[in-house]
Structure 1
Amino acid sequence: MVKVRFAPSPTGYLHVGNARAALVNFMFARREGGQFLLRLDDTDTERGRPEYEQGIYEDLRWLGIEWDAFAKQSERSARYEEVAEALKASGRLYPCFENEDELAAKRAALIKRKLPPVYDRHALSMTPAQRAAAEANGKRPYWRFKLSDEAVSWNDLVLGARNIKLPTVSDPVLIRADGSPLYTFTSVVDDSDMGITHIIRGEDHVSNTAVQIDLFRAIARKPVPRFAHLPLISGGDGEKLSKRIGSISLRSLRKDGIEPGAITAYLARLGTSKDAVALPLAELIAQFSLNDFSRSPPRFDAGQMLGLNRKLLHHLPFEAVKERLPEGAGPEFWEAIKGNLDLLREARRWWAVVAGEIVTPELPDEAVAVIAKAAETLPDELNAATWKAWTAAIAAATGAKGKALYQPLRLALTGEEHGPEMAPLLALMGRERAARRLGACVAANVRPG
């Protein structure tokens, strides 16, 4: 069975970049009839916060992403120690004593000789006595994984064939001097133990993949997971997403009024050959394929996501939004305004138009006559059919037509130059409010003399 994982660190709120990774993993699992694991990389106790952890749960559920299994790395310390001891016993995990200054000097010397700055494995040549002396002098070892002296190849499900010669890579540090394991190590142990079949992540992890494949082979006899690396999203000017747009959290998008369906519809197809369409998540899953992803970095277009948000709102039924509309707003109000919204929060402004107060506008002299006649001829009862007959009567009495007729009426009744159709708005605001606004507009725009 296909099994994938999303492994965020609770050191901040989810943003656009890692939301895309979570979504792609989730859709792949559902499309293949597999499982989606949420695993917290919560070993960073200094930067990790309970509110960030809770935020991960809330944001994923807000997007419609539910997990089939859950794990925390902080609860698996004993397992990491067990695997580390096994690697030490096999000679694949060895102690090192160089400090950062010594390592930097080695790298600088290699670069000066125009050689790759690969760790020289000096620690492997140390005798037990030398190691004991180093520890006696207060040095605590950190532990490196001895890479195989071969090339590692894999067929990336997005990027295609990849080949990396391990001798060109430094042996990675897996255990710090304080005994804490690094993510490269814990991630592979977890993926192996938990039966992860596919690892889908950003292209920035490609350089780690060969190392991790070698580590998979060292700690388990199970098949190595298949890898898929998604090209990183860029901003409008091509800069990396993580530098600017990637910092946009899902929470800020929610606060701005972007619907979760617009985010999933946009991110689901970002970087693919398919156009972004405001489809339900179930339909996006049914049409999902890793084969659709391009090898080129996609560009994040906030305007396109806003366009999807607009289309989604225009088709949402009242029941889907009623809890988020102003108190008292009913189905008639929603049907009247939804086709004019970019963001749901704009509904509050239109509720003030039909049920609250507006700022009386200033009008040119020729428009005041139109408003005065409108006040005189306002019907006793207002309904959806009132607008057409009423405006026809005003036009007949004043000779105004087109913009000269409709623009003053819209301004006087709503305080806005543009907006939803006036017929339902007029019926919603009622005769008393409409009459009061027309009268106030005439009074405010009468010029002395």
Structure 2
Amino acid sequence: MLRFAPSPTGDLHVGDLRVAIFNYMVAKQKDANFIVRIEDMDKERNITGKDTEIMDILEKFALPHDSVSHQSENLHIHQTLAIRLLEEKKAFVCTCTPEQLDADRKEAEENKVTYRYNGRCTSMGAEELHKLKEEKTPFVLRIKAPEAPIVTHDLFKGEFETAPDEVDSFVILNSDGTPTYDFASACDDMISGITLIIRSEEHLSDTPRQTHIKTLLGYEQETKYAHLPIILNTEGKKMSRDDDAGSVKWLFEQGFIPDAIANYLILLGNQTPKEIFIMPEALEWFDLSTLSKSPVKFDIDRLRSINREHLRRMDDKRLSTLFGFADADIGKLAKLYLEEASTINELESKINPIFTPKDFEGKWSAQMHTMEDIIQNAPMINDFNEFKAHILKESGLEGESFFTPLRLILTGAEHGPELSEIYPLIKPYLLEVAS
């Protein structure tokens, strides 16, 4: 069982999408279930509608899941398990005030030591709970620190130990009764029977705490880990949501298509048998263990190149639908511009001027008006050379006074692919084009 567990607190990050793709692919290869869990416990940071947006994105990338849930649905289970740990004396009630904890942190800083919980409330058990609730005294639940190092086996980081004092007696239930991230995540993974967790190395420090939680709850099933190296921006720093290219939504807005984005994210830090592929092809050879163990840099120019190739390979009629047509010839027309364009937006900026009213003002105004009249009254001519000869004869124009206005009236631009290639694809729309 594998899972993808995004938070609805912002736009889906490309790193998170990469995690989703890898979880899906490995689940598919292992014939295991793949579930989506929306981690929505942080009510203050949740953004309305982001959960739906995340699911829509997964659908665009053809990442089917066996089930989807919101973490908040398990709130009662989280609370029940936390109380169980308290009753078993594996957790304790903590009434330390923020001021006391701040003073402890300040003292640790002054002594130049790492802050650890000082154990002030360790002896407060379940018997204290009812009294505190009656007195309305704020409290949290803390798990007791482990007595031995926590050993983690990770596909990329290898085996490493975390000392008990590094895990510490951390909070598992907040004063408002909601679980902390580590507790909720560990409980949900345990409930769902997650056997392999693929996630960013940002979560590496969470793993020992979550392992400790599951151990104290008596969970015996082995969980394997693969913490993916982070993605860097062009400056070599960790790519964040503040980086435009870090947002999947932004990439869509720029005209990148799902097949190309998935292709690039699978390619990133990987040795693949070919550069251009779709996910079903990658399923045949993808091997998580061959990924680079070092951080990888996001190269928008390489993504542009990959996007261009996917647009080139797209079915002509399907490509035309991106510009409001259902005509294979318009798809072929768009592909003529792929030498100078690499995204849907850039293609749109080439295609739209062909089918919008032309600007008859400026240097070539008179010549364009002349050509417009000739084209509107001309018979249907299939061959471009015959069409050109007809306009030449009827207009009396020649040289630049002929070719530049002709290109402008047919394409709305002074430069572009050969008109002899464009004309056969737009001739059914000629009266609309030349106006």
**What's the TM-score once normalised by structure 1's chain length?**
0.82
In 2, the alpha carbon distance for the partners of 1:436 and 1:126 equals 81
Equivalence for 2:95: 97
Displacement of 1:163 in angstroms is 2.0
Q: Conserved in 2, the CA contact under 8 Å of 1:80 and 1:186?
A: yes
Cα distance change, pair 13–127 in 1 and its aligned pair in 2 (3 A): closer
1:299-314 equivalences in 2 (<5 Å): 299-314=297-312
Other-structure match for 1:356: 356
Q: 2:197 aligns with which of 196, 199, 204?
A: 199
In structure 2, the partner of 1:162 is 160
- Deviation digits for residues 317-344 of structure 1, max 9, x if unmatched? 13433443324x5211211222424222
**Is this contact kept in 1: 2:200–2:230, CA < 8 A?**
yes
Residue 244 of structure 1 corresponds to which residue in structure 2?
242
What residue is the counterpart of 2:419 in the other structure?
422
Give the counterpart letter for 1:229 in structure 2: H
RMSD (CA atoms): 3.8
For the residue of structure 2 that corresponds to 1:158, the secondary structure is coil
Residue 431 (structure 1) shift: 9.9
The residue number in structure 1 matching 2:75 is 77
SS of the aligned residue for 2:197 comes to strand
1:24-67 alpha-carbon deviations (Å, 9 max, x no partner): 11111112221111112123344435522211211110111110
Q: Give the deviation of 1:223 after TM superposition.
A: 1.9
Partners of 1:188 and 1:377 lie apart in 2 by: 71
Partners of 2:256 and 2:125 lie apart in 1 by: 62
* Deviations 1:152-188, CA, capped at 9 Å, x for gaps: 2222112222221122332211000111111211111
Residue 291 of structure 2: aligned partner: 293
Task: Go from structure 1 to structure 2 and tell me whether the alpha carbon gap of 1:308 and 1:387 turns closer, same or farther (over 3 Å shift).
Answer: farther
Runs of at least 5 residues in structure 1 that lack an aligned partner in the other structure: 438-449
Superposition pairs of residues 114-263 of structure 1, within 5 angstroms = 114-125=112-123, 138-242=136-240, 244-245=242-243, 248-263=246-261
Q: Give the match for residue 440 of structure 1.
A: none
Which of the numbers 260, 264, 267 marks the counterpart of 2:265? 267
* CA pair 407-24 structure 1, distance change in 2 beyond 3 A: farther
- Contact 2:334–2:351, Cα closer than 8 Å, also in 1: no
Letter in 1 for 2:142: R
Segment drifting more, 209-218 vs 131-140:
131-140
Give the TM-score of the pair, scaled to structure 2: 0.84
Q: Which runs of 5+ in 2 are unaligned?
A: none
CA displacement, residues 186-236 of structure 1 (integer Å, 9 cap, x when unaligned)? 111111111101011111111111111121211133323101111111110
Q: Distance in 1 between matches of 2:83 and 2:431?
A: 80
Equivalent pair of 1:29/1:35 in contact (CA under 8 Å): yes
* 1:332 and 2:300 are equivalent in the alignment: no
Deviation at 1:293, TM superposition (A): 1.7
- Taking the aligned partners of 1:227 and 1:432, their CA distance within structure 2 comes to 58
Residue 442 of structure 1 corresponds to none
SS in 2 for 1:57: helix
Seen in structure 2, the aligned counterparts of structure 1 residues 435 and 317 have a Cα distance that, compared at 3 Å, is closer
Q: Is the 8 A contact 1:232 1:240 kept in 2?
A: yes
Does structure 2 conserve the Cα–Cα contact (< 8 Å) formed by 1:17 and 1:246? Answer: no
C-alpha distance after superposition, 1:73-94 (max 9, x if no partner): 2222222222112211221111
Secondary structure of the equivalent of 2:168? Answer: coil
Instruction: Spell out, residue by residue over 1:397-434, the C-alpha distance to the aligned partner (whole angstroms, 9 max, x if none).
Output: x9x99x99976753464232433332232234449958
Q: Which residue of 1 aligns with 2:52?
A: 54
Q: Residues 161 and 304 of structure 1: is their aligned pair in 2 closer, same or farther, counting only changes over 3 Å? A: same
Per-residue deviation, residues 123-168 of structure 1 (Å, max 9, x unmatched): 1146999989977875322011112122122221122222211223
Q: How many angstroms apart in 1 are the aligned matches of 2:286 and 2:335? A: 30
Which residue in the other structure is 1:113 paired with?
111
Structure 1 residues 240, 384: CA separation in 2 closer, same or farther (over 3 Å shift)? farther
Report how many aligned residue pairs link the two structures: 430
Could you tell me how far 1:7 is from its partner in structure 2? Answer: 1.1
Counterpart contact for 1:96–1:142, Cα < 8 Å: yes
SS in structure 2 at match of 1:286: coil
* Distance (whole Å) between structure 2 residues aligned to residue 121 and residue 436 of structure 1: 79
For residues 434 and 335 of structure 1, the distance between their equivalents in structure 2, rounded to whole angstroms, comes to 20
Matched residues in 2 for 1:301 and 1:128: separation?
Answer: 54
Query: Match for 1:359: what amino acid?
Result: D
